[in-house]
Structure 1
Amino acid sequence: MNRRFLLAISMVALLAASAGCLGYVTGGGEITNETLDADPPAAYEWDTNADVRIEFQADSTYLTVSNVSDREELRLYEETGYGIEEPLEFRAFRYRYANGTVINGSQFREQGGEIEQTPDEVWVRFGEDMTDGTIAYTSDGSPRRFLARTYVKGSYEVVLPPGYTTDFWLFGHGSPRGYDVETVDGRERLVWEEVTTELIVVQAYRERDLPIFVGIFIIATAIGIAGYLYFRRQLEELRETRQEMGLDVEEEETDDFGDDGPPPGMR
């Protein structure tokens, strides 16, 4: 076997590993009952009017509550910066029946539900008697720049941590447009009546950081203006120097040509 063939095989293996293709060989891993049964950082807000509620905590975790009525399964995944899909990492899974009974992840499995992780996603499959329920889980993310895939279409609400806001458009906003902003118990809430896009994006900032951001913006603007004026001044000095050295003679030649009249033969 020649060296070129071995090198080609090595390159293919390296590309497969970097793209995550080897995950299909090694398996996607399993989400343990211990992970699913972990305690959430705060109580899940089951009584919400939105189809999906995302609530941020001060420790950069977020709690998601999703209405999964009339669904047989749900695919949970996220996309890396290279366009590769990966399983959504979550914990503290709960399922709530329509009658209000809440069970944890291991009980969900015992009662006919499935939670299976592959190299690309996590599949949550519901049992025969789970036709009108709600799921909740905890994951990690920052409200400063948050991207959420809309696994469930419908109405959404995103609750920011205390002290965070999207009020100043330059540093805070939400996408898609058409949402309402309200404050409940001192926490800002973004509400969408209907979301059909693949992503929700929220960018927020701490209210106490706004003077710092404004100061940085003013300083950066002042530096930009000063740099522009300095550049213009350098160009002016260069032009004046060329004129003093007699290098900028294009205008004089044009004037002389105009005084002498047209070229010979054209008079």
Structure 2
Amino acid sequence: MNRRRALAGVLLVAFLVLAGCSSILGPDSVDQNALAENETYDWSSDANASINVTGSEYEAVYNVDNQSQFAVHSRDGLGREGPLAISALRFRYPNGTIVGPSSPALNATNQQERTVIGLPARNGELAFSAPAQGKRFSTQAFVSGTYDVTIPKGMRVTYEPLAHVSPGDYETTRTETGRVQIRWDDVQSNAVSVRYYLARDLYIFAAGAAVLVVVALVGALYYLRQIRELERRREQAGPDVDTGENDGPGL
């Protein structure tokens, strides 16, 4: 009986760990090599959150206001939350001094479904990089206020259903390099997401739609022609067509 209880306890602990509850064993430190990676950030934005999507990753800069910690997380397609795989961690003091994870006051740990970043000061700007996916970018809204999201070069968000931007109250502008930048003046939602497309995708979509229209027209003309052909044959057959009715009683 004791052995069974001990085995059950071990299995329970293993299940909790695999389910992401590793905090019962203490927080997990984030890969220090990843945190120390080099990255160039744009610290000049006046937005509360400035995000530059470059393709397979994005660089984010957040304004920190009276905080000693900054918690971030990701969410998969099933709505499950987990730590965010961050890299190139940096903090900029109000006087312009920038420090990295070599500073003991700037650190990151994975705690349950969150990555918790310890800050060296309560005010400043926090920057990190994280993975992006395909032609879609999404992030939880870790701060409220103004958001800027710059999508990769050549991408557009003009037409649905190829594109979708959420929340919906936004404006778009072009940067000096021709990239599209999306701005929200006051994000109060839980997340920000952008689905975009290559400019050439619009032409492919339009060409595909045109082909479908042509096929539909050809099919409609074919069936119309068949109907007219049947009507013509019926007229040629004349009124003596056998309808299957008897000519009179007794016949």
* Pairwise TM-score range, normalised by the shorter structure: 0.7 to 0.9
1:52 aligns with 2:49: yes
Match of 1:248 in 2: none
Q: Which amino acid aligns with 2:74?
A: E
1:137 aligns with 2:134: no
How many residue pairs get matched? 216
Match of 1:125 in 2: 118
Structure 2 portions without partners, runs of 5+: 228-251
CA distance in 1, matches of 2:172, 2:45: 16
CA distance in 1, matches of 2:134, 2:50: 14
Q: Which amino acid aligns with 2:79?
A: G
1:102 aligns with 2:98: yes
Match of 1:73 in 2: 69
Retained in 2: the 8 A contact 1:68–1:134?
Answer: yes
CA distance in 1, matches of 2:20, 2:67: 29
Q: String of CA shifts for 1:122-149, please: whole Å, max 9, x gaps.
A: 111224xx12210111111136222110
Match of 1:38 in 2: 37
Give the share of equivalent positions with the same residue, in percent: 23
Match of 1:203 in 2: 195
Task: From the superposition, tell whether residues 93 and 18 of structure 1 become closer, same or farther in structure 2 (CA, over 3 Å).
Answer: closer
Match of 2:89 in 1: 93
Match of 1:176 in 2: 167
CA distance in 2, matches of 1:180, 1:22: 40
Match of 1:216 in 2: 208
CA distance in 2, matches of 1:164, 1:54: 15
Q: CA deviation at 1:113?
A: 3.5
Match of 1:189 in 2: 181
Retained in 2: the 8 A contact 1:36–1:106?
Answer: no
Q: CA deviation at 1:86?
A: 0.5
Q: String of CA shifts for 1:16-61, please: whole Å, max 9, x gaps.
A: 4697146345665321322111012xx200010100011011x421
Task: From the superposition, tell whether residues 49 and 212 of structure 1 become closer, same or farther in structure 2 (CA, over 3 Å).
Answer: same
Q: Output the TM-score relative to the length of structure 1.
A: 0.70
